Structures are given as C-alpha cells and as structure tokens.
Structure 1
C-alpha cells in the first residue's frame, strides 16, 4: 500500500479545475460562532425541561397516577410518598431517555461515513443546512407533543420519536463535525486550536444562558413555551447559515452544475465509505497514523462518558432532591468553570507555557478523572460544586484533540477523517447510554452515584492515550 502523502502529492499536481480546494485565506468568511451559540442555547434551555416533562408524562400516562400527585415530582422537600413515586417512575423514564440516545446514534453513525467525502466534493454548507433543519423539526415535534399532552393523555414514548428528523439528517454530532471541517478549511495549523477553542467558548456561553434562563422561563410560562423557544432559536441559526455563511471550499463548475437528484444519489455511493476508511487507516509518515487513530478513540471515549447525562438529572433528583431550578443553577456554574478552564488551557497552558495540544488534552482528561471520582463519592450538594474545580479543564479536551488530529493530516483528508471520527463517536451512545442506565437502575436503591466510576475509568483511559500521543510527537520532533 502506497503512502497516503505520496498519493496526495500526485492529486495536488493535477489541474486545479478537477479538484476541490479550500477557499483562499483572503476570501474566507468564518462566522460560525453565532449559529453554534444559538444551537447550544436551544439544547440547554430545553434539556432538563424535557427530562422533567418525560418524568411527568410517565407518571400520569404510563403509571396512571393523578396529575396533582405527579406535579409534585421534582419539587423541593418531597414527602416520603412522593419520593416513593419518584423511585417507581425513574427507571421507566431512564429507558425512554436511553432509546432517545440510541435513535440519535444509529442512523447518524451510518450517514457520517458518506457525508464527510460528500462534503469534500459538494461543500460543507448543504450539510449544515440539512442538520440544522432537522433540529428545527425535532424541536417543533417536542413542542406539539408537549402541547397536546396538556389536553390529552400522550405517551412519553412519543418524545423518543421526535428525534427521528434530527437523526435522519445526521444529528448534532454530524453538525459539529462539519463545523470543525469548516474551521479546518479556513484556518492555518497555527490558528486552528485557538479558533476551535473560540467555537467551544461560543457553545459554553449558549450553555450558560440556556441553563440560567431555563427554570425562569418554565416558572413564568410552561414546558411547551420552552420547547417553542428552542425551536425558534435553532430556526434563527438556520436562517443565519442561509444568509451569512459562505461555502468554505471551492467547488468546480462541473460539480456545481450537477442536479439535486444526482447530489443526493451520490451521497449513498459505497465508494465513499471505502474512501473514508482508506483515508482514516492509511499509512502516514512520522507516526501520524497512530496519532490520528488514538485521537479518534479519545474523542469517541469522551462522547461515551457524555452519556452520563442520560441519568445525571435523575441522579441529583433522587440523591439530592434537586428541582429543575437547582439543576439549572448547577449547570450554569459548571459552564462558568468550563469557560474559565478553556481560557486557561488556550491562553495559559498553550500560549504562555507553550504546551502542545496533546499535552493540554492529557491534563484535561486527568482532571476530568479527578472530578468524576469526586462526584462518585459525593454525599452533599456542595461536593458536586467542589468537583467542578477538579475538572474545569474538561472543556479543552475536545477542541485540542480535534486540533492535533487535523494537524497530523493534509487538508484534503480532514473531511474524511472527521467523518470517520464522527461515526465512531456516534456509536458510543449505543454502549454508553444502556450501560449508564443499567448501572444507575441497579444501584439506585443503595448508591445512585455509582455510575460515575464508569466515567472515571474512561477518563483515565483517555489520559493514557493522549500521553502516548505526546510521546509520539516528542519522537517526531527529535527525529
């Protein structure tokens, strides 16, 4: 098998009218932070409310309990009877959230293998438009289901179906992978990690505002209004992309003239999948192949850990008797710590101390391990806040990992590598969500926080991977 870099050099020597290249630096227009901020806001303003609504409808519809009794669930200072009802309802709710997570993984995992090379040929913007449109439709369905549930008995399982439009367009993971491809198209290696950290900061600001406003909007209005606001916010992001974001790669005239039906049919060519795998696993000089693959595994493992969110709100409801308001405040504080950690990682550890992206990622994973251990043994609410101090660098792990992956590959391979990475990441909820749900249900009666030990083990594994990348990069520099 020939070296990939040799193949790419041959490709680059072909006439420019037969290839797609990145837009020249002076023509690049990169303002993806606003739609990413809006998407993050929509997700976090509605996430806890959705879980709370599923708990309520499970209680009223699936268990047939009186509405007034079910309305007491999730309130502060619950009585013994309400706590017993919560213990009955939570395992059923966890199953719905697990199915929702799996549905959002299976179809996107397959689509991502095609979308990466397809976007290399026909552009990033169509993929962004499709995924944001699917997200709008899913939030609209949540709004309709919630509205109808206030008037008729509606099964909470319909919320698992509402995510299908988003799944069929690639889910949020495909959306963000395309965003990272866009950034790789329009930035140099020196600026890439900084730009990805700025994008991560936009997500954190959306997360912060979403968490702060969530409980306030819910108390002032109702759950239907919260979902409608989320849908409207993502729709604004969709309009922004239509109007304000230009394509990041130059598409030759022949491909621009292709019909829409041809472009859609081209998406499902098996050759695209083979091309993606060849690019991801192909030989590369200077240890770049193991660096890329270990980075991909770390990204997947990181998303595996994120499946703890499937049960975390249920955990704090049960163990600490938290309401949506308390949970939103906790998430807001966590976001502030992550933003500060992002700043420390990008401008302190990288710019001032000169640490590599892989070195910063390793530190982030180790501090995340410490934070998970702290949450696992927490017995008071303030312990969760103390754990934030341990893992405030957790937010730098994703952008820094993607930065060192993209720096280890030529520009024309980044779309395919991120597509492969995205597929691998999308498979993680298939194992993560059921595992966290199973452990939580099995330990609910005697140790509800036991699932955090899973996170601790995965984080120490990711730390080991990124330390290995640091060693390989040091060998690169010394050779």
Structure 2
C-alpha cells in the first residue's frame, strides 16, 4: 500500500485538500461556538437562550441577545486575527529561509504539526463547558510557533514551483487553489450536519484527525523536491533571526529589466486581494444573520455555493483565458479584480438573498488572481529565492487580513444598528486599490 501511495509523491494538493476541509469545517462553527460560550459564560445569560443563537429556532429573546453577544465576540475574533497576523509570520520567515537550503518537506511537516496541535487544544477547550471563551486563544501558541497554515501554503506553492515545468505551472497552481477550495466545499456542506448530531467537540476531533492524516501522508509519501543531503541539515539555524532581514532585502533589492517594480506590484496585488477576500470572513456571517436573519444552515449553503463557483471559475479562467486564448496573465488579473470590485458593491446594496448569490458569482472570478500571481512570481525570481518570497507573500497576506479584519470589525460594530453592510463598500475600495496596482 505504501508503494501505491508513493505514486502520489508529488501530489501536495492532498495536503491542501485536508487543510481546506478542516479550515471551513470548523470556521463558522467556531464563530458560533464563541458566540454561544460568550453568551452564557462571559455575559451570564440563560444557557437555553444562548443555545438558540444562530439556529432556525431563534425567538424574540435571542434576537435581542444577538447584537449584545456579537459585539463582545468580535473582540475575541479580532484578538485571534491579531496573534495570527503578527506572530506566526515571524516564525514562518525563519522556517521558509531554512527550507530554501534544506528542503520543502520539513516545512510542510512543521506547518502540519502546528495545525494538529492547535486543533487538539481546541478539542480540549470545547470539552470544558464553563471555561471562558478567551481560553480558546491558547490554540494560537502551537499555531504560531510552527508557522502552521503559512508554512504549509508556502511549502506547497514552492514545491509546485520546484517540480512543475513553466508551461504547465499555471494550471497546476490553479489546481492547487481549486483543490483547497474543494476541501473547503466538503467541510462547509457537512459541518452543520455533524455539529447538529454530535456537537462542537466532535468537529475539532475530526479536524485534528485530518491534520494527523496529512502529516502521515507527508512523512511516508511526499518526496523532497530539492537535492538535499539530510545529514547536512543544520537545525540550529532555525533560531537565527538573520533570514528575516535577508528576506526583506531580497524583496526590495534592485533587479534586471525593472523586475523589482514588477515584483513589488505582484506582492501588492496579492496581499491587498487576499486581505480583502478573507477579512470579510470575520463579519460576513454576523452581517447575514443580522440583515437577512440567516441560520447556520443558510450560511453554510451559501458558502458551499460560493466555493463551488470559485473552484469551477478558477480552473476555467486559467485554462480558457490563459492557456487557450493566450490572454496575458496580467490582463486576466485585471479583469478578475474589476469584477470582484463590482461583486462587493452588489453585496453591499443587496436587499434580497438572490442578490447575495449573484455577488458571489462575481467574486468567484477572483479565484484566478492568486495562482496567476504566483505563476508570474515563479517566472521572475531564481529557484533558490522562491521559498522565502512565497513565505513573505503569505505572511504579508496574514498582516493584510488582520488590518482588513480589524477595520471591518470596527466598521461593523459602529454601523450594525443602521448600515451593517458598510464593510462591503470598504472592501470594494480596497479592491479598487489592488486594481490600480495591477494596471
């Protein structure tokens, strides 16, 4: 069986499939968990009323609680984002610089170890019914120390850049994006049913199991993409701070043919785009519950639809526009960003559910932005720099996500009473800035 699995020795998509599944499987459930735990533990409301938050059985009493509980919970979510955005990237810089010399496979294992331990902590906290929701942030300790999702994403993208010829790299990066979203789709469509049947604890146990399986698959099946002598690996170099300075100098140093400007524009486009895309995740669920009175089941159905269109359009855009029609990568990115800006405007002005779904279709065109930008970057820099630059890009994405998430949380809290959709217009402005850089 092991020999059979070795035929998948370059299929890092499996790792992102399992990560994407876990990320969305617990994403909205965690928001619901924090609302529920905050309601009866921190704010002291009746546990039976708190249990109805976000369900189709909500009554007038729970609707009154919703705004009060949401306001407090957003501070926990914002604290979580703050920790992930500033601490995890520092460790990832060290790990990625080390991986450029000593291999991508250990970087994958580091990331998966952090994710596994993080979900174990979530499992323990969710098992203790009267512990403060702030203790949930303890899972950030292993998450940050091992770089976790930043290390995993940087390692997988670098692995594809190492192993796939340039002419096939674009569609492979597109499949990498699509595979991650397939996992997210499966996680989204199944989480509410598993949660209803088994509760919070089982959700986190399943996520931990997925990361354990990914770790085992990497250990036994993934082959190293770089020519590395394992006996020469210097583990002590992991704790040196010089790679952070070297990576920053690498980003800003002069390059031939004005490539430094191109590289900085690519960084700017991706960082702003990813920050805008994911910063909404902390408040979109709350917004849809507030304005359209959606339940968790309604929201998971919507996210499933969004992910499905995202997956399809990611592959279609790259295959048809870039590979078949030979449209330049930069032109495709500009088109996608223009439609994404329009999508957030539609979502902001929406007064009906079908308009929210229409906005999701426009936003899904943006699925090709990240893989095409990664493709452009892989053409621009030498192989020995690619790991650190991808890690820097993913790290800056996290910081951008924090800034966007903090801004959206602040705007949502200030406008929840009279214009809860205001954060959509802020995101549209952010995307317009990214569009300007792409041009």
Q: How does 1:162-241 map to 2 (within 5 A)?
A: 162-241=139-218
Separation of aligned partners in 1, 2:247 and 2:333:
26
User: What is the deviation of 1:452?
Assistant: 0.9
Deviation at 1:439, TM superposition (A): 0.4
Distance across 2 between alignment mates of 1:428 and 1:398:
14
Give, in whole Å, the separation in 1 of the partners of 2:87 and 2:64.
37
2:27 to 44, 47, 69: 47
Give RMSD over aligned pairs: 1.6
1:29 CA drift (Å): 4.1
CA apart distance, 1:114: 2.1
Equivalent of residue 82 in structure 1, options 62, 68, 81: 62
- 1:364 Cα deviation from its structure 2 partner: 1.4
Q: Which runs of 5+ in 1 are unaligned?
A: 1-26, 468-479
Which of residues 449, 455, 459 in structure 1 aligns to 2:431?
Answer: 459
Following superposition, the deviation at residue 201 of structure 1 comes to: 1.2
Q: What corresponds to 1:391 in structure 2?
A: 363
**Structure 1 counterpart of 2:307:** 335
In the TM superposition, 1:442-457 aligns within 5 A as 442-457=414-429
Q: Is the 8 A contact 1:276 1:419 kept in 2?
A: no
Q: Is the 8 A contact 1:77 1:321 kept in 2?
A: no
5 Å-filtered alignment, 1:100-179, equals 100-149=80-129, 153-179=130-156
Taking the aligned partners of 1:112 and 1:148, their CA distance within structure 2 comes to 31
1:67–1:169 Cα change, 3 Å: same
Residue 428 of structure 1 is matched in structure 2 by: 400
Structure 1 match to 2:344: 372
The match for 1:302 is: 273
| Pair 1:346-2:318 in alignment | yes
State how many pairs are aligned: 432
**Does structure 1 conserve the Cα–Cα contact (< 8 Å) formed by 2:49 and 2:61?**
no
User: Contact 1:40/1:203 (CA < 8 Å) preserved in 2?
Assistant: yes
Other-structure match for 1:93:
73
Q: Hey, what does 1:257 align to over in structure 2?
A: 231
Q: Which runs of 5+ in 2 are unaligned?
A: 1-6
Counterpart residue number, 2:10: 30
For 1:102 and 1:38, locate their aligned partners in 2 and report how far apart those are by CA, in whole Å.
25
Contact 1:112 1:422 in 2 (8 A): no
Matched residues in 2 for 1:198 and 1:411: separation? 21
Deviates further, 40-49 or 338-347? 338-347
The answer as to whether partners of 1:40 and 1:206 remain within 8 angstroms in 2 is yes
Distance 1:148 1:433 in 2: 29
- Bigger Cα Rg: 1
Alpha-carbon distance, 1:343 to partner: 2.3
**Contact 2:53–2:66 (8 Å) recurs in 1:** yes
Whole-Å separation in 2 of the counterparts to 1:436 and 1:455? 8
Q: Deviations over 1:299-348 (max 9, x none)?
A: 21123211111111111111111111111100100011111211221111
Distance 1:77 1:225, change over 3 A: closer
Q: Offset of 1:390 from its aligned partner? A: 1.6
Partners of 2:255 and 2:50 lie apart in 1 by: 59
What's the offset of the Cα at 1:457?
A: 0.9
| TM-aligned CA deviation for residue 213 of structure 1 | 0.5
Deviates more, 1:443-452 or 1:350-359: 350-359
Deviation, structure 1 residue 430? 3.6
SS of residue paired to 1:448? coil
Q: Which segments of structure 1 move beyond 6 Å, counting only runs of 4 or more?
A: none
Moved more, 157-166 or 365-374: 157-166
**Cα distance between partner residues in 1 of 2:96 and 2:110:** 14
TM-score normalised by the chain length of structure 1:
0.87
Work out whether residues 439 and 450 of structure 1, in 8 Å CA contact, stay in contact via their aligned partners in 2.
yes
- Equivalents in 2 of 1:138, 1:170: separation in Å? 11
Name the residue aligned to 2:409: 437
Structure 1 residue 109: Cα displacement: 2.1
Counterpart-to-counterpart distance in 2, 1:320 and 1:164: 36
Specify the alignment match of 2:254 in structure 1: 283
Give the TM-score normalised by the residue count of structure 2. 0.95
Contact 1:28–1:186, Cα closer than 8 Å, also in 2: no
1:317 aligned to 289, 308, 323, which one?
Answer: 289
The whole-number CA distance in structure 1 between the counterparts of 2:282 and 2:143 is 18
